Structure 1
Amino acid sequence: MASSSVSPTKIGGSRIVILTEGKTDPLTAKTANVLLRYRAEDIVAILDSTQAGKRAEELLGVGGDTPIVGSLDEVDAPDTLLIGVATAGGKIPAEWLEVCHDAVKRGMCLVSGMHQFLSSDPQLSAAAAAAGVAIHDVRKNSEHEVATRQGIDERCLRVLTVGQDCSVGKMVAALEVARGLQAAGVDAKFVATGQTGIMVEGDGLPIDCVVSDFVNGAVENLVRANQHHEVMLFEGQATITHPRFSGVSAGLLHGCNPHGMILCYEAGRTTIRGMDHLALPTLKSVAEAYEHLAAFGHPAKIIGVAMNSRRLTADEAEAERARMRAEFQVPVADPIRHGPGELVDAVRALLASHRG
């Protein structure tokens, strides 16, 4: 299959201020964290008056000397205000809307991945139109097709990152493996299925904001749109065992029907994110559940484990890695700490097998 020459479209400008007011931590400000890692050249500041004067690296572990400021007055010629948090429910605090109005008056465009659409606010929408600036609600979509299981080119290998829980590194694993494959000369495509991934890649679909009947069909549309590549790395969402979000995860699984899966987890986490009164199911049981459920669409096995070892020391991470290798008998790596090499090799081995 020929490689595509089409470049993804950037969302937002080249002088982005990320709004994380009062929520500048690695999990809540996941969007900010990822954009600082993958679009650092476009980020000029983090806006959080409660942490003004600090640097992004201090609070988020990425971003180096990117300043945290208390006001847009402190930023030279910003062109975009981007909401950099991901919260359950996706509601925008009222005081943040005031910041958005201020940004629009300064001629800045707005980018949001929240479920509450900025463009649905009549006053803000009118102000943006008057100022000639754009509002980009990344989660807004008009998907309305059910799945058909037709028009799928099986020559393109489909790999999905799946997780033990929310916010364990599924997107980062998919991005790192896709880029590792590209560096190795494989025509690989990262397929974004959430708002942050779309902001990084410039295309994709926010499946958690698709009407439930149409999730599988919407993911099928992503398959058909990208199957001219050799490999698609689908960004996973939540997990099929999460009490809140399992429906999205199941629809993604049966919409993309992967040939293989990379299992993602955070070492040291013991309870379900957002529901600390509930213990996480074992990683082994999650893996078995995914393989069982996948088989109703397309048989797929776990081909590698992506470990998020942010809570561990280097020595602890190596011990955990050895334990996971022994338990799962597949390559195991933290894509950031260890690099994605072993997981890239696992996908390449599956690709070779797929080609027969």
Structure 2
Amino acid sequence: MHFLWRGFLIFILTIPSLGGAVVVTGNQESGICQNGAMVHNEYCRFFIYYRNAKADKLDIRISDALQIPDQDASKTRAIGLIIAISKYPALNANLEAAEVDGKRLANFLIYGQKFDEVILLKDQDATAENIDYFLKDYLPARGEMFNKKARLLIAYSGHGRFGTQDGLSSKQPAFVLSHASDIDGSKDMYEMPALNRQLNILAKRYFHVLTLVNACFGSGLYGMTTGAGNSNAYSKPGAIAIAAGDNKTEVYSLNKEKGSVFFDLIINGVTSGVADERYGKSYMVKVDGKKEFYAGITRTLSLFVYLNDRYIDVNQELADRGQTLRLSDAWIGST
């Protein structure tokens, strides 16, 4: 099952352990890693996977959506940026589920979704400077190299901070970074509106941009946007964000071994095909002018509806067990 975001995702596979075999290291040549990633040595280690230009044909579901008739894999690129922060030593607020999310998402994108590049910033490496490098330098430049035919997935799992803009204070909603020592301060925070502004820039350089946020108050990400669209129109360009909850509510992990409820549902729903009732297992494409069924895709709006339906089920299960905890509805919006 593939996930081509605005869009959809692709293969139904059993996902093996990532291990450490795909970690990229640098060489002595400035500005390039051993496997060809075009970054300076200090950033090489964040590429946990990097595929050089492929000679094989592009998966027909992707070429169909991106309108690449010759299925030339060199004309597009699937890039994932994962930010997973589980350790907060100064706040005494570690998140074991975020560490699980980071590992599961890496496996999912590399083995299940066949991404070409996967970048992982975790814990103390997820600094504002490193995040800015990829969001503001590497990813915009990379998108332009593929004539707006590349696809980008950005995923965050970690603490989020509530934003207050009531006229008395103007604390911005923010992602809390690993070195943070004051939840109300400005140091070691990555403000959600700043990410929104950068997503707007990235959207102009990629075909699809999907941002997935598992953080308390994560819908503080959404700012003023222009225009409208259809988040199930996977053959059209678009940029969409889905947050695990609203901007006033905490989000949860109910089983730390599975990670967050949000990413557990996304990975399982896409992999099994159940997140898109129409196309999850029977996406129809044309091959040599003839129609035939070929595996499946998960469209973004369908994924969002599936998430909220499953949240209802989870909340009912919690109520049946006499627990007062409830999940907030997930949110979706254009970026």
TM-score, normalised relative to structure 1: 0.31
Higher percent of residues as helix: 1
TM-score, normalised relative to structure 2: 0.33
Considering Cα pairs closer than 8 Å and 6+ residues apart, tell me whether 1 or 2 has the greater RCO.
Answer: 2
